[in-house]
Amino acid sequence: MSDAGRQYHLACGPGDVGGYVLLPGDPGRCERIAAHLDGARLVATNREYTTWTGALEGVPVSVTSTGIGGPSAAIAVEELCNLGAHTLIRVGSCGAMQPGLRLGDVIVAQAAVRDEGTSAQYVPLAWPAVAHLDVVDALRAAAAAAGVRHHVGTVQSKDSFYGEMEPGRMPIAAELQARWTAWVRAGVLASEMECAALLTVAAVRRVRAGAALAVVNAAPTVDAMPDPSRLPIDALVGVTVDAVRRLARVPRP
């Protein structure tokens, strides 16, 4: 960070971001989400981090991409907190782990299985990665108001994308498959890569955080990746933007 307060990775400085921040993984989705804000402008782009800032009902709101996985998400949260962000919502995608989940369903993460390494650099593994209740309630209310099929529960965060997609070719295939079966039997809804780090770092930094995820793979295993240009995320974006609007209307405790 420079003397002017500009953050090393985000390339944002004081006054560049709002207190409320939506966090997609893909930088390419930032402008799409920012289009829902008033007067949105591109603030900075550096590495995997792109930031737009606008407003909702006069309240400054930003959109910042986090890249893929826990390490880059943790950096984004740290530097956003340095700039005064106090409420963070992941706008992500996930693969379903339970039968009955459909493409485009929205998963509101109540908690995340810490099946990754980043959060272990912050707190012991016995510590639970849970979303802030205010954020969970706002996401649920927004989804219900929009008539969007949604589910609230636990997601699994992992580090290896291909360890999930192609576990059979990994040297620890048996272990990976046994762990996956355990999470499914325990009722974990879906798998993704950033929630555990986001929720953990936010708690350590004493800010509110939560996550909503669109189901883009409707089965635990798939033969082919979905077309990235056709991911069913429109409903998700609407839900998360409305959740921020709801949160901003109520004074923070």
Using a 10 angstrom Cβ sphere, with 0-12 exposed, 13-18 middle and 19 or more buried, the burial of residue 122 is: middle
Does residue 3 form part of some domain? no
Does residue 96 form part of some domain? yes
Distance, in Å, from the CA atom of 249 to the CA atom of 123, rounded to the nearest integer, reads 32
What tokens does 7 get? 């953050």
pLDDT confidence tier of residue 16, bands split at 50, 70 and 90: very high
Q: Is the model's pLDDT at 143 over the cut of 70?
A: yes
Does residue 88 form part of some domain? yes
pLDDT of residue 175: 95
pLDDT of residue 220: 54
Does residue 15 form part of some domain? no
**Number of domains present in the structure of the chain:** 1
Does residue 120 form part of some domain? yes
Question: Domain of 183?
Answer: 20-248
Rama region for 158: left / alpha / beta (φ>0; ψ in -120 to 50; rest): beta
C-beta separation of 94 from 192 below 8 A: yes
Mean pLDDT for 29-47 is 98
CATH number at 107 reads 3.40.50.1580
Q: What is the pLDDT of residues 114-141, one digit of tens each?
A: 999 999 999 999 999 999 999 999 999 9
Q: What is the pLDDT of residues 168-201, one digit of tens each?
A: 999 999 999 999 999 999 999 999 999 999 999 9
pLDDT of residue 217: 87
Which of residues 253 and 82 earns the better pLDDT score? Answer: 82
What residues contact 242, with CB distance under 8 A and at least 6 apart? 142, 145, 146
pLDDT of residue 222: 53
**Eight-class DSSP state of 107:** E
Mean of the per-residue pLDDT values of the chain:
94
Q: What is the pLDDT of residues 52-94, one digit of tens each?
A: 999 999 999 999 999 999 999 999 999 999 999 999 999 999 9
Does residue 177 form part of some domain? yes
Does residue 4 form part of some domain? no
pLDDT of residue 253: 76
DSSP H/E element including 72: helix 70-82
pLDDT confidence tier of residue 224, bands split at 50, 70 and 90: low
Does residue 36 form part of some domain? yes
Q: Is the model's pLDDT at 105 over the cut of 90?
A: yes
Q: Is the model's pLDDT at 208 over the cut of 60?
A: yes
pLDDT of residue 176: 94
Percentage above 70 pLDDT, the chain = 96
pLDDT of residue 1: 47
